[in-house]
Structure 1
Amino acid sequence: MYKKYKGILKSSNLYFIALIPDEKLREEVRCLKEEFKERYEAKHALKSPAHITLQRPFRRAEAGEEKIVKILKEFSKIQERFEVRLSGFGCFKPRVIFIKVLDHKKIQKLHLRLNRVLLDDLDFTEKEINTKIHPHITLATRDLDNTIFYRAWDDFKDKVFEADFIFKSLFLLKHNGKYWDIYREFPFYSEESA
């Protein structure tokens, strides 16, 4: 399929790689995103499920999809599950409000290992990969108006949000033309699967 992306005609698909929480937490986050849509007219974040981005969106030919799936499956099989704690809200002024991840270390280490695989095995360029990440779960972005941002931030900055969950898989998301779909799940190593 041919798509126009930022003025360039492409015969490819758009993907990104992320960590996605369990269904219960995804639903809690979706409800918060709906609140941002209703109260602040910010709906862009509803185009994807709750997630922590490890690799920003990238384009690849559909013919290369099988290789991506194979490599990510092999990579994930040797990664260990880990717990994450979410607490409170943060922002990147003046457009983004998110749920804070308390300890970034395990996610950042996973990200570094993933980068190595993307560069070595999937032929990503240095420009394509995220060299640094700030783990978070976005609630509002891009379409959160500058003037409304400060009102929304005042409403959320002191709100309480607490959650713990275990990341058990890596996910490949694929854009369908309107939204991001969870395309593939790659389970991490566990004693049960050994």
Structure 2
Amino acid sequence: MGSDVGCQTAFAPAATCRLFLALLPPPALQEQVRALQQEFVVRFASRAALRSPPHITLVPPFEWPGSEWSALIGSLQIFAAGQDSIAIELSGFGAFAPRVIYIHVDPSEKLQQLQSGVQAHLLPLLNPKNPSTRPRPFVPHMTVAFRDLTPHQFRAAWPEFQSRQFQASFWAADLTLLQHDGRQWQVTEQFSLVSGSG
């Protein structure tokens, strides 16, 4: 997608973007995860996970000035050009009680290195604009229910999902930048992991 898009909301251009950086699975796997998210809508009245494509968050949501959009895009292009695509393994389910259930992502060394690398790359850009921005512990996961999953519904769902099987794998070949449009998260830019050195 073109890097001249800048900050947009569902209604008009925005002075500040709300963004996050993630790895997205391929479309067929996104559909499998969407089906699980829809199951939570129907059975447990939790729909918050539907507001973004299925993903693994690398850099959690942050604010960015629209006037400096091209600087962010250029910086991420430089970072991605020095990285290799990586294998991602999904296996079973995990939880952050009492509101989050997710598909477990294997915290491989390469995934950990990619996440810590992009966080370190962006930190000098983010800190002056976001004084509260600080690295968080990285627990790679793909959310299927959160936020509006009540503690009661969590207690109903978790015993089942704790022992439920789920296995999948994919090659992550792009970093994806997502932007909140005032209603939900949209893919706005993708950056190929192309170094070929690994």
SS in 2 for 1:113: helix
What pairs up with 1:63-142 in 2 under 5 angstroms? Answer: 63-120=67-124, 122-124=125-127, 127-142=132-147
Give the structure 2 partner of residue 59 of structure 1.
63
The Cα offsets for residues 81-107 of structure 1, whole Å up to 9 and x where unpaired, read as 110110100101100000001233222
Q: Which runs of 5+ in 1 are unaligned?
A: 4-9
Give the structure 2 partner of residue 27 of structure 1.
31
TM-score (norm 1): 0.88
What displacement does 1:131 show?
A: 3.4
TM-score (norm 2): 0.87
The Cα offsets for residues 120-173 of structure 1, whole Å up to 9 and x where unpaired, read as 3x2435731433210000000000011110111122111110001011010100
Is 1:165 aligned to residue 185 of structure 2? no
**Aligned CA distance change for structure 1 residues 88 and 71 (closer, same or farther; 3 Å):** same
Residue pair 1:115, 1:129 contacting (<8 A) in 2 also: no
User: Mean Cα displacement is larger for which, 111-120 or 163-172?
Assistant: 111-120
Residue pair 1:104, 1:134 contacting (<8 A) in 2 also: no
Residue pair 2:82, 2:195 contacting (<8 A) in 1 also: no
SS in 2 for 1:131: coil
SS in 2 for 1:54: strand
Q: Distance in 2 between the 1:173 and 1:113 partners?
A: 19
Is 1:175 aligned to residue 194 of structure 2? no
Give the structure 2 partner of residue 184 of structure 1.
189
What displacement does 1:13 show?
A: 1.3
Residue pair 2:76, 2:191 contacting (<8 A) in 1 also: yes
Paired residues, number: 184
Q: Which runs of 5+ in 2 are unaligned?
A: 1-6
Q: CA RMSD in A?
A: 1.9
Q: Distance in 2 between the 1:81 and 1:154 partners?
A: 35
Residue pair 1:55, 1:129 contacting (<8 A) in 2 also: no
**Aligned CA distance change for structure 1 residues 57 and 183 (closer, same or farther; 3 Å):** same
Residue pair 1:21, 1:50 contacting (<8 A) in 2 also: yes
SS in 2 for 1:28: helix
Q: Distance in 2 between the 1:52 and 1:150 partners?
A: 24
Give the structure 2 partner of residue 37 of structure 1.
41
